């Protein structure tokens, strides 16, 4: 047992801390594979990020960039180049030693033509990777890009080992504190503590990520004691059952998911700003949050996470006001409203919110026809073919306001002022300036009422009382278990 465990034990008093245990973590979605550098599934990062795989830097619970495999770094060449100073004595789970060559391999692989990395854009600006010595590496970009550091902290940019990279999808090998044991498909992924981990020792002996799709089964599995922690409990409607039970702790935090009423700005009537503003006035966020999310969500007025330091509250920009909404519709030439379709993907938040939105818009004469779809259908019709009027979806990627700079994205928002703001953000090396620009960007899309901004999706953590160190928020998708331990009599 390493020093840090001892300190914690002494600090908390010996009898109160449980023996190292294997934690059973419940997740709703099973990952399709275990390679975070492949597809876009958040369910992959839910299991592997920070546990099996590590990147040069690590994003923590608060969304801050922390040193990881790179203990420190320097910005040189006017912000165009990063020099990373790598940790010594790091072993991959297959026993291979980690060096700068692994960094070069990982990034070259993600950037290559055959790469199926969903966030290939992170690596595109890399013009040169120069190994200075086995523990120092310089990465040069096409221009200064301050968001590069955050991006390489994402699961898509973890460091992989050349010998094992091709098999990571079913037998992941990383440098993290937990090692992959087995995957019983459809049931669970088992991890065990990696005894040769280079960093501070973790407290848990291992972790089983169990996949429970059905919300009611999630409830019974928690209550039966099969699951110790459900970091993102799928049924906000019965959270109160745990809140009232002293054996459990409920922590409602935030995800990076901005839930929006996606609006097709390309086609009439939504190409008309007056119509979009009318919709913004017709939306009653508090009714949505109470009705669909049982009060467990935070209203937003733009496409930005409320717990980010650069967030500005724009929820008052278009207050809920039916008269104002009707007036704007009249001005826009729709005195009697119009008919639209609302295409909803499967998540329960979308379906519930959709029904309320339909009734809210109905109050100002907009007749909404709800069409429920599966994900694959939704992606095909809404996201790719842009064949939709309105939709509801949560954009769970962290810091993704830049999607509004892409006129081909499914919103169809094509605004040169906004594109300029994003271009400036991407090349700004000055933190204060970039903070100002992010605020400007939020304001711009809110003013243009590009989409209806509804609420930030909550993260509903439920775990046994006495379990400490679980993430309260999801600034990125991860259930990093390095700080998790159990206090108390049970286990």
Partner 1 sequence: MSSFLLKKIISLIITLFVATGVIFILIEVVPGDPVAFMMGLSGSTEAADALRIELGLNVGPWARYVDWVWGMVNGNFGISYTYRVPVIELIRERALVSVPLTVYALFLSTAIAIPAGLISASRRGSLVDTSFMGVAQLGVAIPNFWFAILLVLFFSTTLKLFSASGFPGWDAGFLICLKALTLPAISLALPQAAILSRVMRSSALEVMNEDYIRTARAKGLNKNQALLRHGLRNAMIPVLTILGLQFSFLLAGGIIIESVFSLPGLGRLVFQSIVQRDLIVVKSIVTLLVFSVVFITFIVDLLYAAVDPRLREGN
Q: Which residues bind partner 1 (CB under 8 A)?
A: 30, 32-33, 39-41, 113-121, 169-170, 184-188, 210-214, 216-217, 220-221, 223-226, 346, 374-377, 379-381, 383-384, 393, 395-397, 400, 403
**How far is residue 324's CA from residue 318's CA, in Å, rounded to a whole number?**
9
Nearer to partner 1, 263 or 360 (CB): 263
**How far is residue 178's CA from residue 48's CA, in Å, rounded to a whole number?**
9
Output DSSP code: residue 166.
G
| Residue 460 CB neighbours (<10 A) | 23
- What's the chain's Rg over C-alpha atoms? 24
Which residues on neighbouring strands pair with residue 299, listed in sequence order? 455
Nearer to partner 1, 40 or 76 (CB): 40
Structure tokens at 432: 């204060």
- Is the CB of residue 180 less than 8 Å from the CB of residue 101? no
Nearer to partner 1, 223 or 443 (CB): 223
Nearer to partner 1, 286 or 385 (CB): 385
Least separation in angstroms between residue 185's CB and partner 1 is 6
- Is the CB of residue 422 less than 8 Å from the CB of residue 405? yes
Nearer to partner 1, 68 or 353 (CB): 353
Which residues on neighbouring strands pair with residue 347, listed in sequence order? none
- Is the CB of residue 458 less than 8 Å from the CB of residue 254? yes
CA dist 103 → 55, 68, 86 (Å)? 9, 13, 10
Least separation in angstroms between residue 226's CB and partner 1 is 5
Nearer to partner 1, 118 or 330 (CB): 118
The crossing angle, in degrees rounded to 10, of helices 348-362 and 273-282 is 100
Least separation in angstroms between residue 46's CB and partner 1 is 14
**How far is residue 428's CA from residue 196's CA, in Å, rounded to a whole number?**
40
Least separation in angstroms between residue 433's CB and partner 1 is 26
- Among residues 300, 375, 366, 365, the alpha carbon closest in space to that of 343 is found at 375
- Among residues 278, 281, 283, the alpha carbon closest in space to that of 333 is found at 278
**How far is residue 260's CA from residue 350's CA, in Å, rounded to a whole number?**
9
CA dist 127 → 70, 72, 479 (Å)? 20, 21, 33
Residue that the structure tokens 């700004």 belong to: 428
Nearer to partner 1, 73 or 411 (CB): 411
Least separation in angstroms between residue 149's CB and partner 1 is 19
Least separation in angstroms between residue 79's CB and partner 1 is 24
Nearer to partner 1, 161 or 391 (CB): 391
The dihedral sign for the CA sequence 290, 293, 294, 299: negative
Least separation in angstroms between residue 201's CB and partner 1 is 28
Least separation in angstroms between residue 272's CB and partner 1 is 26
Nearer to partner 1, 30 or 480 (CB): 30
Least separation in angstroms between residue 322's CB and partner 1 is 32
């Amino acid at each position: 047992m390493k020093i840090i465990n001892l300190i914690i034990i002494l600090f908390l008093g010996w009898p109160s801390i449980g023996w190292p245990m294997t934690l059973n973590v419940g997740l709703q979605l099973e990952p399709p594979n275990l390679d975070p550098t492949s597809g876009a599934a958040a369910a992959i990062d839910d299991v592997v990020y920070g546990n099996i795989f590590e990147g040069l830097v690590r994003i923590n619970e608060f969304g801050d960039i922390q040193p990881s495999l790179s203990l420190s770094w320097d910005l040189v060449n006017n912000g165009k180049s990063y020099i990373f100073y790598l940790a010594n004595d790091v072993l991959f789970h297959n026993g291979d030693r980690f060096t700068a060559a692994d960094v070069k391999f990982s990034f070259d692989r993600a950037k290559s033509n055959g790469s199926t990395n969903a966030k290939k854009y992170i690596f595109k600006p890399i013009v040169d990777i120069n190994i200075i010595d086995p523990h120092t590496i310089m990465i040069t970009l096409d221009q200064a890009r301050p968001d590069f550091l955050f991006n390489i902290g994402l699961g898509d940019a973890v460091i992989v080992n050349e010998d094992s990279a091709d098999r990571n999808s079913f037998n992941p090998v990383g440098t993290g504190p937990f090692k992959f044991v087995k995957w019983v498909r459809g049931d669970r992924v088992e991890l065990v503590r990696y005894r040769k981990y280079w960093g501070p020792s973790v407290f848990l002996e291992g972790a089983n990520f169990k996949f429970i799709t059905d919300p009611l089964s999630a409830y019974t599995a928690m209550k039966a004691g099969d699951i110790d922690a459900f970091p993102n409990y799928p049924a906000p409607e019965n959270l109160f059952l745990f809140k009232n039970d002293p054996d459990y702790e409920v922590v409602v935090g935030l995800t990076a998911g901005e839930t929006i009423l996606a609006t097709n700005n390309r086609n009439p009537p939504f190409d008309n700003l007056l119509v979009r503003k009318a919709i913004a006035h017709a939306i009653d966020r508090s009714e949505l949050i109470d009705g669909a999310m049982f009060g467990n969500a935070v209203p937003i007025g733009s496409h930005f996470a409320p717990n980010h330091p650069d967030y500005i509250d724009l929820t008052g920009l278009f207050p809920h006001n039916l008269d104002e909404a009707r007036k704007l519709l009249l001005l826009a030439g729709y005195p009697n409203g119009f008919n639209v379709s609302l295409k909803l993907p499967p998540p329960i938040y979308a379906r519930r919110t959709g029904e309320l939105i339909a009734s809210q818009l109905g109050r100002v004469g907009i007749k909404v026809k709800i069409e429920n779809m599966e994900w694959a259908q939704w992606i095909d019709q809404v996201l790719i073919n842009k064949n939709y009027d309105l939709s509801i979806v949560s954009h769970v990627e962290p810091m993704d306001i830049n999607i509004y700079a892409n006129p081909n994205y499914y919103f169809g928002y094509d605004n040169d002022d906004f594109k300029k703001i994003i271009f400036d953000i991407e090349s700004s090396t000055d933190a204060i300036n970039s903070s100002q620009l992010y605020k400007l960007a939020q304001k711009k899309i809110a003013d243009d009422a590009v989409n209806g901004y509804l609420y930030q999706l909550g993260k509903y953590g439920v775990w046994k009382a006495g379990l400490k160190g679980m993430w309260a928020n999801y600034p990125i998708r991860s259930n990093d278990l390095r700080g998790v331990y159990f206090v108390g009599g049970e286990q």
